[in-house]
A and B are shown apart, each in its own frame.
Chain A
Amino acid sequence: QTVVTQEPSLTVSPGGTVTLTCASSTGAVTSGHYPNWFQQKPGQAPRALIHNTNNKHSWTPARFSGSLLGGKAALTLSGVQPEDEAEYYCLLYYGGAYVFGTGTKVTVL
């Protein structure tokens, strides 16, 4: 069974920068996994942020960016705002099936 692992929690100061990563148990994450990233706040549905590694949706703030970093998918938040405090999930494609990451709780403190 494929496992996609994220950092359980990260803390960042307002205005700072934080990078979340997404690792696959099958090996390096590539563009062929078409990484998606989502933000979820308590009691709300997930909101799409990034698709196909580094493409933003029309509603995605410019401070969010996606990339591949050291064999993992990565989501970088630059100039963090208090409203960025949330759970973040990655999603990877494995030839006919998708697997969500374990999620990262980002605290802005």
Chain B
Amino acid sequence: QVQLQESGPGLVKPSGTLSLTCAVSGDSISSNNWWSWVRQPPGKGLEWIGEAYHGGSANYSPSLKSRVTISVDKSKNQFSLKLTSVTAADTAVYYCARIYCSDISCFKFDYWGQGALVTVSS
């Protein structure tokens, strides 16, 4: 059974950097899958942040691209999110998710973490 678990500070100061980690169990971070971050502001909808592959490739939402980095740590079987220059608008529940890739195609979001609330406030 694949499981993902987010962790990181629940409070970040404005203009600071938001950093979260997603620990993966039941699958190797070096498998042929992509690893993604999604967020949800309180009372609002879901927003895709980006994705990364263990080989070093990454893709980001155009609206966040200038501030976000997603990286994979093969030694710890986890992946991370960094979001710089945060404001109150970045307050949200942050989810990590796996994008499963078969021999034929990817694009299959399947397993999700339970989410981590990050509040941006002084």
| Chain A residues within CB distance 8 Å of chain B | 1, 34, 36, 38, 40, 45-48, 51-52, 55, 57, 89, 91, 93, 96-103
By Cβ-Cβ distance, the 3 closest A-B pairs, closest first, are A34-B107, A51-B108, A98-B48
Asked if residues B114 and A45 are in contact (CB atoms below 8 Å), the reply is: yes
CB contact list, B44-69 vs A, under 8 A? 45-48, 51, 59-63
Q: When A34-B107, A36-B108 are in contact, do A46 and B60 touch as well, CB less than 8 Å?
A: no
State whether A46 and B95 are in contact (beta carbons under 8 Å apart), knowing that A91-B48, A97-B59, A102-B45 are contacts in the complex: yes
Q: Give 4 A-B pairs besides A34-B107, A36-B108, A97-B61 with Cβ atoms closer than 8 angstroms.
A: A45-B95, A48-B112, A101-B45, A103-B45
Which of B46, B62, B108: most chain A CB closer than 10 A? B46
In whole angstroms, what is the CA distance A40 to B93 when docked? Answer: 13
Question: Looking at chain B, what size class is its interface with the partner chain?
Answer: 20 to 34
| Contact B112 A46, beta carbon cutoff 8 Å | yes
Residues of A within 8 A of B115 (CB): 45
Give the A-binding residues of B (Cβ under 8 A).
36, 38, 45-48, 51, 59-63, 95, 105, 107-115
Nearest Cβ on chain B to A19's Cβ, whole angstroms = 20
Closest to B6 in A: A45
Which B residues touch A1, using CB under 8 A? 62-63
